[in-house]
Chains A and B, each alone.
Chain A
Amino acid sequence: MLDVITNQNFLYNVFGGFTHLTWQAIVMIIIGGILLYLGVAKDYEPLLLVPIGFGCILANLPLTELIHVPRELFVFHDGVREILSSTGLLPLQEGVRLVDQGILDVLYDAGIGNELFPCLLFIGIGAMTDFGPLLQNPRILLLGGAGQFGIFLTLMLALVLGYDKMEAICIAIIGACDGPTSIYITSKFNPSLLGPISVAAYSYMSLVPIIQPPIMRLCTTKKEREMSMSYDVLKPVTQTTKTLFPVVVTIITLLIAPVGAPLMGTLMLGNFLRESKVTGKLVKSAENEIASITTLFLGLTVGSTMNGDVFLTVKTLGILALGFIAICGDTAFGVFGAKIMNIFSRVKINPLIGAAGISAFPMAARVVHKVGCEANPQTYLLMHAMGVNTGGQIGSVLAASVMIAIITTLQIMQLIPM
């Protein structure tokens, strides 16, 4: 028996965790720990950062075989070996391994690889969103579009810095300030960047209260920040209008960008369930059970793609830096969008509310209200900012949908690689 347990092969495999531990895995386990710390101790997006952090630790412990990344280097063994052998495709191309699926592989294929999880989350987000303040003053929807121009600024910067087209798109979409949209686009166009993009998107979303105020102050004068906004312009809307709104938005946007259907369709489905007032059980499920389960699986799977070999690169640092620029750009473009709107509009608005034109809901609206109150305690911007913030949700999904439509078309025309 002593011969067996002192055998090098036995020790190598039983204590394989120690013998296979690499410095990259150690660094990634530390990063996973930091994400857990930020989620648990600092309360930064805990619902996402906790599963991501834990997934990161699980995936980087050696020999756990829970998930295999980068995915293109693995073929899964669920009965394919015989098929591949019979068709003469085995042995596989150099470097590709035939392996059994881990449980996180199964989750990846079930919801990330086919982009299902972000769409399920969108049903929950739609069910939680009240577009009432936006409908009371629909023109502020334009600020939800202005707030997306950080995406395009980041796209250009990423291309200038030498990222390829598909990488640049995935990095730029961090500027949508919308986790599910970022994950959807990255899964679609460059799944290898899923880890860093998701971490950047969710980290910066949680840091909106820290990132946005200095940019808002920089882009406005004290007089502009002090401006009060009347609530007379907010005319009440009927339940019929609120119910029809998601249907109208779905039809309009999907006629323009049909390939955006998974994003806009699910967001508006969730909102229609909410506003129709007859599907209470479904709304409850969408905003609680479905959203919670999906968030858990999504976070865990995304975290598990943070393999040290893929994550610990200079590229990741660039992604984190560009993601930061994207959020700053969104804020500035939103504020300047509001200023431009004031040039053409009779009823002036406080330019600060333009900064809420991102998808981080309702955090961005609260930040705007807080900065406004600091400048003028008499002002109350919350409901105006909420309207812009929900506009930002539509704007981000719309911008992503339009981008998918254009990129897909360019791929079909073979002007860019598939």
Chain B
Amino acid sequence: MTEMADMTFGWLLTIVAGGLTMISLGIIIIATKILKSFQKS
């Protein structure tokens, strides 16, 4: 395959890595809330 252009690489990493980081944090928040809901019951 042809090597990716520098700025394409930058945008790809920014959008995918940034997005995936935030989504992962969102999943951790949901999991934490589920954990906490067990402690209430």
Contact = CB atoms under 8 A, between A and B. Distances in A.
B34 to A, nearest CB: 9
A139 B25 CA distance: 9
Interface in A388-413: 391, 394-395, 398-399, 402-403, 406-407, 410, 413
* Interface of B (DSSP majority class): helix
A139 B29 contact: yes
A55 B2 CA distance: 42
A412 B15 CA distance: 20
A253 B18 contact: no
Interface residues of A, number: 46
B37 to A, nearest CB: 10
A159 B6 contact: yes
Interface in B1-16: 1-4, 6-7, 9-14, 16
A402 B24 contact: yes
B29 A135 contact: no
A138 B20 contact: no
* Interface of A (DSSP majority class): helix
Interface residues of B, number: 31
B17 A403 contact: yes
Interface of A: 135, 138-139, 141-142, 144-145, 148-149, 152, 155-156, 159-160, 164-165, 168-169, 235, 237-238, 240-241, 244-245, 248-249, 252-253, 256-257, 391, 394-395, 398-399, 402-403, 406-407, 410, 413-417
Given A138-B32, A241-B35, 18 more contacts: A135-B32, A138-B29, A138-B33, A145-B25, A148-B18, A159-B7, A160-B7, A235-B36, A241-B32, A244-B35, A257-B20, A399-B17, A402-B24, A406-B13, A410-B9, A413-B1, A415-B3, A415-B9
